Amino acid sequence: MRVACISCFNSYYNHIYKFTGYFKRKNYTVKYMIQDFSHINKKYILDENPPDIDVVKIHVPAYQSNLSPKRLYSHYVFARKVYKMLCEFKPEIIYCMFPPNMLVHEVAKYKRKFGAKIIFDYWDAWPESFPFKKGKRYALIKPFLNIWRNLRDKNLPDADLILTPSNIALKNLREKFPENLSQVLHPARKPLEAESLPKYNFSKIASEMSFCYLGNVNFITDLEFAKKFFARDGKLSQNRKLKLHIIGEGVNLENLITSLEPEGVEIFKHGIIYDDETKREILSQCDFGLSIPRPSIGSDMPLKAIDYVRAGLPLISTSLGEIHDLIARYNFGFNANDPDELAEKLLQLTSSDLERISENCLNNYERVFVQDIGEILGKIV
């Protein structure tokens, strides 16, 4: 049995491993197709390969801006080349993570021509997550956004299984595609072993507080919330020394740094880190993990939020929806709408409070987020 696993971006190897590992354990021939350009650092990927997988890197045009015609063209080229390789490889099963929506169109086209079982992993909703939904700029591109949406919606019914990262996304999907088999698969990895967990020292929060931002700082990051929260004349800055560790890059990284440095925040820019030990050492210096997407994009299950819970780091989240409800139910941290209200809550915390929140994260992570992929894929494979 031949299987093609497809993902445009190189940021999700750990998620892809779930699928390639499952299929390899069944002794299937697995080929992983990915573009050769890194969406995060905007450079070509030279020698980076996931282990134990037959990887095909597809050459695509480079781009520098996430919101640009060049990026859309690059994704178009990738999707077209994927279709050509599928026609050559002739897989009987296709797992495809999207966006880009063009992949849905091309993979469905392959199924209609050759036949195959298709698993679409609905990772994010574009153009619904488009960060700018007002003004002349949005009015001009709105007709194009409808075409963009239809590349996905007109072809999703060809799927044998559609996966979503959250229950709210699943509910929305089933309202539009009630006939399709669909299932939640949280973007969660297996729990960390005890020896791999960060060693937190929450005793210092009476004098200083350290925050971690994990991942890309881009157009969906709520820079306005960050500036208000860390403002020099804000309640938190007036009562604590503030530090921010950034593990990642992104087009808005420098904007974030230049807006916070005048506020007196001590910023540590670590860049993209793949080494688990180095990342663990940085997290050990922090008291909170920040997940602050713009409310307008409707991000209800951010990957970084799950990663913080996995590491036992108390979470600060501006997301609505499912992760908001889980934070309240299991006391994973704090739902943040108003920066001043959040500051009041944080200033009242003791080290024992943070230790309890950290324990809540670790004790509930597996039960809440981790799923058996074999049970899910067994429905169609």
- Provide the pLDDT confidence category of residue 150 given band limits of 50, 70 and 90: very high
Query: In this structure, are 329 and 222 located in the same domain?
Result: yes
Domain boundary, last residue among 162, 185, 208: 185
- DSSP conformational letter for 160: S
Q: What integer is the mean pLDDT of 68-83?
A: 95
- The percent of residues in the chain predicted with pLDDT above 70, rounded, is 96
Asked if residue 35 and residue 159 are part of one domain, the reply reads yes
Confidence tier at 115 by pLDDT (50, 70, 90): very high
| pLDDT in the model for residue 33 | 96
Q: Are residues 135 and 238 in the same domain?
A: no
Domain-ending residue, one of 185, 210, 226: 185
Same domain, 105 and 166: yes
Mean pLDDT of the 215-242 span:
93
Question: Residue 128: its pLDDT value, please?
Answer: 72
Residues 95 and 99: their CA atoms lie apart, in Å, by 13
Domain total of the chain: 2
11: in domain: yes
Residues 6+ apart with CB under 8 A from 249: 40, 41, 216, 217, 271, 272
**In a domain? residue 350:** yes
Find the helix or strand (DSSP H, E) in which 333 lies: strand 333-335
- Both 336 and 215 in one domain: the answer is yes
**Left (φ > 0), alpha (ψ -120 to 50) or beta: where does 200 sit?**
beta
Domain boundary, last residue among 140, 168, 185? 185
> What's the mean pLDDT when you consider all of the chain?
92
Give the domain range for residue 157: 2-185
203 and 85 belong to one structural domain:
no
The model carries a pTM of 0.90
What is the rounded distance in angstroms from the CA atom of residue 334 to the CA atom of residue 289?
10
Cross-strand partners of 56: 33
Q: Determine the average pLDDT of the residues in 97-120.
A: 97
Whether residue 170 sits in one domain with residue 211: no
> Is 120 inside any structural domain?
yes
- Radius of gyration of the chain from Cα atoms? 21
User: Where does the pLDDT of residue 14 fall: very low under 50, low under 70, confident under 90, or very high at 90 and above?
Assistant: confident
pLDDT beyond 80 at 166 = yes
Q: Which residue has the higher pLDDT, 75 or 64?
A: 75
Integer Cα distance of 335 and 326 in angstroms: 10
Q: Is 17 left (phi over 0), alpha (psi -120 to 50) or beta?
A: alpha
In terms of Cβ atoms closer than 10 Å to its own Cβ (0-12, 13-18, 19+), residue 69 is exposed
Instruction: Supply the DSSP symbol for 201.
Output: -
- The DSSP letter of residue 218 is -
Does 92 score more than 90 pLDDT? yes
Residue 49 — pLDDT band, cuts 50, 70, 90? Answer: low
| pLDDT, average across residues 229-254 | 94
- Does residue 32 sit in the same domain as residue 160? yes
Q: Which CATH number characterizes residue 123's domain?
A: 3.40.50.2000
Indicate if 151 and 224 belong to the same structural domain: no
| Distance from C-alpha of 121 to C-alpha of 115, rounded to nearest angstrom | 19
Q: Which pLDDT score, from 0 to 100, does residue 135 have?
A: 65
Q: What angle do CA 200, 204, 205 make, to 5 degrees?
A: 95
Mean pLDDT, residues 165-192 taken together = 93
pLDDT at residue 381 above 90? no
pLDDT above 90 as % of the chain: 76
Domain assignment present for 373: no
Per residue in 121-136, pLDDT (tens digit) is 998 877 777 666 566 6
